[in-house]
């Protein structure tokens, strides 16, 4: 794990102008690296092989499912109880989404940033789904298909609302 001393963190934050919890980020990175290493170790021990290259269909499904699941985890009102220990409610945003901000300091703040940012959470979601493709590919593809269908449905709802507004204008 990366060791960030207090002096480096203070200098970095002074230049950034706001809180950048470098030690918290290092902790979160350490957890990600540890989990990734454990997954690779378990794959090796169980004889699971990584594909030489992922199938194009799996990559497309993974992209759409990652988009939907990361937004669900980071923005949806239903998942706010998961985020609440690390975030503070700001306002309703968009269709069935919330804006929240990270709370606390250190690792708590870093996790708050992770669970409020669909781009940040997407890395974790994609990693989890890719792991699923190695250990339980049928179940994972089924789940990704559901998430992709919901993402498609979301876009259709939004397009329908736009068309309805244009028709009534």
- The average pLDDT across 43-62 equals 92
Quick one: pLDDT at residue 95? 79
| 23 pLDDT tier (thresholds 50, 70, 90) | confident
Q: pLDDT above 90 covers what percent of the chain?
A: 75
State pTM to two decimals.
0.84
Q: Which position has the higher pLDDT, 6 or 43?
A: 43
**Does the pLDDT at position 128 exceed 70?**
yes
SS (H, E, C) the chain: CCCCCHHHHHHHHHHHCCCCCHHHHHHHHHHHHHHHHHHHHHHHHHCCCCCCCCCHHHHHHHHHHHHHHHHHHHHEHHHHHHHCCCEEEEEEECCCEEEEEECCCHHHHHHHHHHHCHHHHHHHHHHHHHHHHHHCHHHHHHHHHHHHHHHHHHHHHHHHHHHHHHHHC
């Amino acid at each position: 794990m990366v060791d960030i001393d207090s002096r480096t963190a203070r200098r970095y934050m002074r230049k950034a102008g706001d809180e950048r919890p470098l030690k918290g980020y290092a902790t979160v990175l350490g957890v990600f690296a540890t989990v990734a290493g454990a997954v690779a170790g378990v794959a090796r021990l169980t004889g699971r092989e990584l594909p030489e290259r992922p199938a194009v269909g799996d990559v497309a499904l993974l992209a759409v499912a990652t988009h939907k699941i990361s937004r669900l985890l980071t923005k949806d009102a239903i998942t706010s109880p998961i985020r609440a220990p690390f975030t503070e409610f700001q306002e309703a945003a968009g269709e069935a989404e919330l804006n929240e901000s990270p709370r606390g300091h250190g690792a708590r703040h870093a996790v708050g940033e992770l669970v409020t940012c669909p781009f940040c959470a997407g890395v974790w979601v994609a990693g989890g789904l890719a792991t699923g493709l190695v250990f339980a590919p049928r179940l994972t593809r089924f789940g990704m298909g559901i998430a992709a269908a919901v993402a498609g449905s979301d876009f259709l709802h939004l397009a329908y609302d736009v068309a309805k507004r244009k028709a009534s204008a």
